[in-house]
Structure 1
């Protein structure tokens, strides 16, 4: 071949490689509570269905890794393999050991349990003991922090100043971390928000105290994920069907940012009517973006610029824990969706909280 032509083809090929967009890779964290048929359905998955979940992961080529593998990749901004999955349980129920662990062991899957030490030390018959948790830790489980008690950070008690409440919670959080270290020999400084409730102020406080925060809104994890609000997909009922799990496991991290005002999470009922998202991904068609809000359904999307869109809610956000889930099919990876979830915690008009 003519040397000049060879050089031209080489340069052209190099240009294509350099300019080609890198495909997004994703990790997904699954959240469970009970593995049982005798516990509240909203926080339970049957052992039979849990086994189907674990088998599906294996058959579809997902790699189940310790939670620390995903967190460390985000922390250090290091290359992350695609299709990584971490399995987590909240609340340290006994059935995780009796029903969940045998299934996990059969597939040799690592997992994480978020515990409330005060409940462990109360020696309730439906909770794991320190001895059981230590045994599970020695066999590869991560035991992490869910707060000393199962108590929301956002709900400041009457008559207590917010800064005093956070100071008290900080002591309880450190106390819980120390109890985990003393009893099972681990201290990852991972914290799952009780009830998934948090605020931007709490996120800053958590970062200042060198904790990684895990939320309960859905979404995939990527290198730009905020380490104070790492999303997890609920996988218990009614979200335990394999058809829905498939889409979640194949989701991609939707890099979206919000203004300081739109990043707020707590509003009184009927005091917020819109939100604006700033998108940092181009691998989708704006016309294929869909957003759904709890209790309101699909919302109208108005693009206010090439990279920002606004939702004016079709009605008032309902009182309670509310989510806006936005998804869009990837152009470069057929069958996969970018997925982002924004939470709100809507109090009553007088500022009082909805029941837990």
Structure 2
């Protein structure tokens, strides 16, 4: 039996103790390939990656171990000032060949979310367990990206809800077993393939004691949903250093409550309603952008509550609304993002009400 979607999310408040002088949030960077000849949409060149890592070092960012930092945030423990984490998705060999030497030279820890089927099949463009063991000795951590990199919300033709959920559970369990067998450890973290999840999958992840990342952008804090955490893409169109600097200096949007309407878009334009915490903010400077549509329409319901609406429905696929707002210092932007999936019948997605 599939659980019902949460249409609104109450965002937890941070404890103020011990966090006044330290960072209570974490930007997480997401990469894939480090290569000049792989698909540009998911790649950075070695030169671009070097530029990014040099900036982190020169600007005195503190690159932290992701799993440890997330555990600290959940416990309301302070992170170092200018803390940031580095991640990769997919088990591409270019991470070892071109990315790892750059990270090792700077002594930066990093996490790679691996899909294990190509590793087990010894495919030449993918990492080997021996390479991963070598990277472990210099700050590399390897986490779950499923076995076969499936769309986790799509069922096989004729598959029951129970069989689908069992198959997804096996996708996670097999990777966890392989991590323990080959690397002697697992950080109990997952990156959803294509960033797609729903309440049922997130509850499964929680039951397994795991934390997981979607593909919405933003920064993590104690009030985040730890079964659907944000990251900032830093490859392809997002690889410009000027863009990266803005993201690295972002803070979590100071929200008390968000209402998104669920994980799936329909033939109507999507909308989100955001309720802000008490405080002094530049709310008049809040701007929300819709994938491929430009600015969203903002309707203020009260002084602290706004609804952002897309101008037209999304096409089939994933779409998002990103909202930003400068803080009073002008040095940082508050950041919020939400992703919806617009399905078509032939794709076999689970019930949109699941």
- What TM-score, normalized by structure 2, do the two folds share? 0.88
- Indicate yes or no: 2:298 matched with 1:317: no
Name the counterpart of 2:25.
26
Aligned equivalent of 2:274, options 267, 272, 277:
277
Counterparts of 2:107 and 2:284, CA distance in 1: 42
Counterparts of 2:269 and 2:207, CA distance in 1: 29
Aligned equivalent of 2:333, options 337, 343, 351:
337
What secondary structure, in the 3-state scheme, does the structure 1 residue paired with 2:177 have? helix
The alignment of Structure 1 onto Structure 2 pairs a total of residues equal to 331
Superposed, which structure 2 residues align to 1:1-356 within 5 Å?
A: 25-256=24-255, 257-259=257-259, 262-268=260-266, 270-280=267-277, 282-331=279-328, 333-348=329-344, 350=345, 352=347
Name the counterpart of 2:12.
none
Counterparts of 1:216 and 1:82, CA distance in 2: 25
CA contact (8 A) 1:193 1:213 kept: yes
**Could you report, residue by residue, the CA deviation over 1:250-291 in whole angstroms, capped at 9, with x for unpaired residues?**
0001143334xx2511234x1454322223363422210000
CA contact (8 A) 2:275 2:305 kept: yes
Name the counterpart of 1:8.
none
- Higher alpha-carbon deviation: 35-44 or 202-211: 202-211
CA contact (8 A) 1:200 1:264 kept: no
**Could you report, residue by residue, the CA deviation over 1:72-125 in whole angstroms, capped at 9, with x for unpaired residues?**
112212223331111101111111111111111111101111111111001100
CA contact (8 A) 2:52 2:241 kept: yes
Unaligned runs of at least 5 residues, structure 2: 1-16, 350-354
What secondary structure, in the 3-state scheme, does the structure 2 residue paired with 1:173 have? helix
Counterparts of 2:276 and 2:283, CA distance in 1: 10
Counterparts of 1:78 and 1:33, CA distance in 2: 30
What secondary structure, in the 3-state scheme, does the structure 2 residue paired with 1:30 have? strand
CA contact (8 A) 1:295 1:318 kept: no
CA contact (8 A) 2:22 2:80 kept: no
Counterparts of 1:24 and 1:102, CA distance in 2: 29
**Could you report, residue by residue, the CA deviation over 1:21-58 in whole angstroms, capped at 9, with x for unpaired residues?**
98974311000000000101011100001000000011
Counterparts of 1:24 and 1:131, CA distance in 2: 36
The two structures, once aligned, show a CA RMSD in angstroms of: 2.1
Counterparts of 1:90 and 1:166, CA distance in 2: 23
Counterparts of 1:77 and 1:71, CA distance in 2: 10
What secondary structure, in the 3-state scheme, does the structure 2 residue paired with 1:210 have? coil
CA contact (8 A) 1:200 1:263 kept: no
What secondary structure, in the 3-state scheme, does the structure 2 residue paired with 1:57 have? helix
Say if 1:327 and 1:353 are closer, same or farther in 2 by CA, change over 3 A. Answer: farther
CA contact (8 A) 1:110 1:140 kept: yes
Unaligned runs of at least 5 residues, structure 1: 1-17
Counterparts of 2:84 and 2:278, CA distance in 1: 22
Kindly state the Cα deviation for residue 307 of structure 1 after the two structures are TM-superposed: 2.6
The answer to which structure, 1 or 2, has the higher relative contact order (CA under 8 A, 6+ apart) is: 2
Counterparts of 2:219 and 2:145, CA distance in 1: 21
Kindly state the Cα deviation for residue 206 of structure 1 after the two structures are TM-superposed: 1.3
Kindly state the Cα deviation for residue 344 of structure 1 after the two structures are TM-superposed: 0.5
